[in-house]
Amino acid sequence: MSKKSVLVTGAGGFIGFHLVNYLKDRGYWVRGVDIKDPEYQASAADEFRILDLREMDDCREAVQGMDEVYNLAADMGGIGYISGAHASITFNNTMISAQMLKAAYDAKVQRFLFSSSACVYPQYLQDVPSVVPLKEDDAFPADPEPGYGLEKLYTEKLCEYFTQDYGFQTRLVRFHNVYGPLGTWDGGKEKAPAAICRKVAMAKSGETIEVWGDGKQTRSFMYIDDCVEGIYRIMRSDYSGPLNLGTDELVDVSGLVDIIAGISGKTIHKRFNTNRPQGVRGRNSDNNRLREVLGWEPSIHLSQGLIPTYAWISGEVKARAEREAGIAHIPTIAAQ
Ligand code: NAD
Ligand code: GDD
């Protein structure tokens, strides 16, 4: 029997990069597609194509000959990014998601996985730090995160309609804040775990870092290894409704800083800034349905997963500092 061929879109990004490795290890033939190359390491994909999935022709090229599609491509970032560019994010993601779904259906792909988000959940259910974990059915009546979350919710429905009307096999995964090595750690799109690792790595012991909000807002965070394992298990399952994929280990942001400071071995002081973006006040994942469907759930604790994450980001910070110092030390050639 020939190998199954799968497409990972967003393969130049954080989760897609790791998912390609995971699928290669399981013997799949993998095509990676992204609008850019991976930032930190070369992709392990059998074939990597640079395509712009806002264009239907590029979507059709991407899906050609594929048995299954993991659609991870999106204009995406942490709360600072997604709350500051509603028009472009919503437009870009609407074009990518709707056209990839249609192209995959037309190409007779067997299964299509859509990467949704905890941002689909109503803001009115996330207004206190001691939040009740969010169940899949809580998404309606809808009041999602503006722009980015609204598109995710709408595309989930579009996938459901393709299943109902055409029998197209879709899988809907609602990720809760994912972190780990090779995730964006600088430049404005980084999420809290990576941003705080960077700030701690750049600080000397005894210094103060800026933390957005008052530190009491809560989240659950999922390590990348659990994330790719969960994606694969959901794809292989028979369940086509939306599923949370996250941990239910709730932590406040101040506590997150303390864990990272502890890993670094530094004494770190916090300056809270409530003028920076904060998103919802509290968010946690209810994993009952995930456990029922898969008999599995993410299990890597935050204090474990942050160790390799901090090690990688502090290495990047150091390497960048050395590069900048190296460039500064190149003697300038005097004009003749
Ligand atoms: P990422 O930004 O690292 O990866 C997304 C990739 O999509 C990027 O490499 C980007 O270049 C690519 N992309 C954007 N526009 C494109 C286009 N027009 N054509 C082709 N490629 C394009 O983000 P990630 O963390 O790897 O997220 C993957 C998916 O998971 C996204 O759909 C995201 O919305 C979803 N998600 C992630 C998280 C998280 O915490 N990381 C949480 C919820 C949902
Ligand atoms: N990004 C960032 N940077 N957040 C910080 C920082 C910092 O330096 N300091 C504190 N925070 C706080 C934010 O104010 C927010 O309250 C919390 O940490 C989490 O921020 P993010 O990780 O940026 O985003 P989020 O959890 O609100 O939303 C993210 O997760 C969703 C899925 O759960 C985003 O990445 C969404 O795109 C994603 O869908």
Smallest CA separation from ligand 2 atom 11, residue: 212
Out of 22, 105, 121, 148, pick the active-site residue: 148
pLDDT (tens digit, 9 = 90+) per residue, 82-140?
999 999 999 999 999 999 999 999 999 999 999 999 999 999 999 999 999 999 999 99
pLDDT (tens digit, 9 = 90+) per residue, 217-232?
999 999 999 999 999 9
What are the percentages of helix, strand and coil residues in the chain, rounded to 5? 45, 15, 40
Q: Looking at the domain assignment, is residue 27 inside a domain? A: yes
Query: Domain of 60: which CATH number?
Result: 3.40.50.720
User: Which residue spans within 127-265 are E strands per DSSP?
Assistant: 170-175, 178-179, 208-212, 218-219, 222-223, 242-245, 251-252
DSSP 169-198: -EEEEEE--EE-TTS--SSS---HHHHHHH
**Which ligand minimizes its atom distance to the CA of 81?**
2
Q: Looking at the domain assignment, is residue 95 inside a domain? A: yes
**Which ligand minimizes its atom distance to the CA of 34?**
1
81 is catalytic: no
Q: Is the Cβ atom of 84 under 6 angstroms away from ligand 2?
A: no
Number of domains within the chain: 1
> Average pLDDT, whole number, for the chain?
96
| Residue 151 DSSP SS3 | helix
Q: What are 288's two structure tokens?
A: 């009952």
pLDDT for res 55: 98
**Distance (Å) from CA 195 to ligand 2 centroid:** 9
pLDDT (tens digit, 9 = 90+) per residue, 307-331?
999 999 999 999 999 999 986 555 5
ipTM: 0.99
Q: Is the Cβ atom of 76 under 6 angstroms away from ligand 1?
A: yes
Q: Looking at the domain assignment, is residue 274 inside a domain? A: no
Q: Looking at the domain assignment, is residue 258 inside a domain? A: no
Q: Which domain holds residue 89?
A: 5-179+222-245
User: Hey, CA dihedral for 158, 160, 164, 167, is it positive or negative?
Assistant: positive
Q: Looking at the domain assignment, is residue 46 inside a domain? A: yes
Q: Looking at the domain assignment, is residue 135 inside a domain? A: yes
pLDDT for res 60: 98
| Residue 252 DSSP SS3 | strand
**Distance (Å) from CA 196 to ligand 1 centroid:** 20
Q: Looking at the domain assignment, is residue 322 inside a domain? A: no
pLDDT for res 328: 57
Q: Looking at the domain assignment, is residue 152 inside a domain? A: yes
23/42 Cα distance (integer angstroms): 15
